[in-house]
Amino acid sequence: MAPTVQPAAWRLELFYSSLQQLEAQIPFLKRHGIARVNIPNKKPEDDLQGAIRLLRTHMPELDICCHFRCVIQHASAALVRGGTTPLGAPVPCWTSKKPGQ
């Protein structure tokens, strides 16, 4: 008997301009059984925490990967750099820009 091969886990990357637009995507996620998503932030005004709260309210089991860009979220990046992981290790924060750019 041949072993069963599980398909690789994949994530759907969500793009939206407002939380209302993100909320409008939730029925699609539910209808198609999508269980893993990526949420990127492309602009400084993107409300990543609001997006996570919204998705968790409607789909608490959803596996969310938030693409946090320190270059974009300057104020939050300072908090992240000073934070710790659940295991107590410092949270790293990298940017693609070199000092002075």
- The pair of structure tokens assigned to 78 is 């300072």
Domain boundaries, the chain: 12-67
Render each residue's pLDDT in the chain as its tens digit; 101 residues. Answer: 555 545 557 889 999 989 999 999 999 999 999 999 998 877 777 788 899 899 999 999 999 888 766 665 544 544 444 554 445 554 444 444 444 44
DSSP 82-97: H-B-TTSPBPP---SS
Model pTM above 0.75: no
